[in-house]
Amino acid sequence: MELIDGKKISEEIKREIAAEVEKMIAEGRRRPHLAAILVGHDGGSETYVANKVKSCEQCGFTSTLIRFEDNVTEEELLETIDRLNADDSVDGFIVQLPLPRHINEQKVIEAIDYRKDVDGFHPINVGRMSIGLPCFRSATPAGIMMLLERYGIKTKGAKCVVLGRSNIVGKPVATLLMQKAQPGDATVTVCHSSSENIKEICKDADIIVAAIGKPHFLTADMVKPGATVIDVGTTRVPDASRKSGFRLCGDVDFENVAPLCSHITPVPGGVGPMTIVSLMNNTLQAAQHVIYK
């Protein structure tokens, strides 16, 4: 069994991005600039956004954090998005999700100029990805594809099972895995809350991507010996022995599944750091106008 070290790969890629930024500076160009909008004080979102800001520093980017309280109106949020869309000093920006219930998340996503949508959530980016056109790919799926590529895991013709059909992970990772590309070219099955025989379907898979948000959902009896397992779960479970009072728990029963696998990602230190690095990569591409001129 080989552990897929997302932390190590993400640090390598951040160094590559930082070197690219220094080249831009040497050519007299400005640093890539990522802005993030954070609403409220959800613990998970605070941590993600703090990590994004830190990664910007490591990559040599400029970052701006715009904070609102939970009671921000949809109108105020949309005005801020319009301002960022029009601001030539900002290459890309994200609105950290989830948003408070009184705000229409889809309306917010669609208000973002797709050329600055470095999260890849705008329907134009999602649609372009689904037909294989250049676009901003959403960060977690893109990070998973980078891990498969860097660890030389063969996807062509592989049987892949994706557990979960969220717009952020399940659907886009299924799209990328089936794309006629390398990595890609896989035979993909997506399982969700109405799927039957999940255990049998998983048991036949060469690659399983678990993105269902249920701690320890994928157990050893569901995994074929020699399979690759990618764990996207990050549920916070109470843990009095930690300073924070919680630990992150993946969707995979790691202890019992890992010995069966050819490759597996840990939680934390697997997919999580790759998600952030994909966002950095998208921001670099936005600053260099690689995708949209």
Kindly list the catalytic residues: 52, 96, 119
Q: Give the position of tokens 């998600």.
A: 275
Query: How does DSSP classify residue 71?
Result: T
Cβ 236 vs Cβ 199: under 8 Å: no
Q: Considering beta carbons, is residue 95 or 201 the nearer one to ligand GUN?
A: 95
**Closest CB 270 distance from ligand GUN, rounded Å:** 15
Question: What tokens were used for 153?
Answer: 């895991």
Residue at 80: amino acid letter: T
Query: How does DSSP classify residue 127?
Result: H
Q: Considering beta carbons, is residue 117 or 253 the nearer one to ligand GUN?
A: 117
**Closest CB 158 distance from ligand GUN, rounded Å:** 25
**Closest CB 109 distance from ligand GUN, rounded Å:** 9
What is the DSSP annotation of 26-61? HTTPPPPEEEEEEES--HHHHHHHHHHHHHHHHHT-
Is residue 160 helix, strand or coil? strand
Q: Which residues contact 120 (CB under 8 A, 6 or more apart)?
A: 126, 129, 135, 136, 137, 138, 139, 142, 172, 282
Shortest Cβ contact with ligand GUN: which residue? 97
Q: Considering beta carbons, is residue 48 or 258 the nearer one to ligand GUN?
A: 48
**Closest CB 149 distance from ligand GUN, rounded Å:** 20
d(CA 277, CA 9): 9
Q: Give the position of tokens 């951040």.
A: 14
Residues that bind ligand GUN (CB under 6 A): 94-97, 119, 139-140, 168, 275
d(CA 198, CA 144): 22
Q: Considering beta carbons, is residue 138 or 189 the nearer one to ligand GUN?
A: 138
Cβ 34 vs Cβ 116: under 8 Å: no
**Closest CB 95 distance from ligand GUN, rounded Å:** 6
Q: Considering beta carbons, is residue 179 or 275 the nearer one to ligand GUN?
A: 275
